Amino acid sequence: MDEMEVERRVLTPEEHFGVSAGEVYWDLNEEEPRSVTQIIRGTKLKRDVVIGALGWLAREGKIVITDEKPMKFKRL
């Protein structure tokens, strides 16, 4: 392998959603809730990845989900 070649490996689902959850977490803030659309725009991630990342963060107790329509999220 020469110096310019980069070895690529496939991420496990846990690694994939863990990294994505980190991106979503840092896109959120503690004061202003954000919609899924706003999170997608802020992170440039695909919708299904954002939804998975939000599920990951909710399971870890790192976000709050509002009662608003559309549903919004903010970081704890």
pLDDT digits 0-9 by tens, 58-67: 999 999 999 8
- The verdict on domain 14-75 having CATH code 1.10.10.10 is yes
HSE-CB at 11 with a 13 A cutoff on CA atoms is 8
Q: Name the DSSP letter for residue 75.
A: E
Tell me what pLDDT residue 25 has: 96
- Which residue would you say has higher pLDDT here, 74 or 7? 74
pLDDT digits 0-9 by tens, 2-59: 566 667 888 888 888 889 999 999 999 888 999 999 999 999 999 999 999 999 999 9
Calculate the CA dihedral of residues 16, 54, 46, 4 and round it to 10 degrees: -30
Tell me what pLDDT residue 3 has: 62
According to DSSP, the β-strands at 63-65 and 72-75 are: antiparallel
- Length of the chain as a residue count: 76
Are 57 and 63 in contact, with CB atoms under 8 Å apart? yes
pTM: 0.82
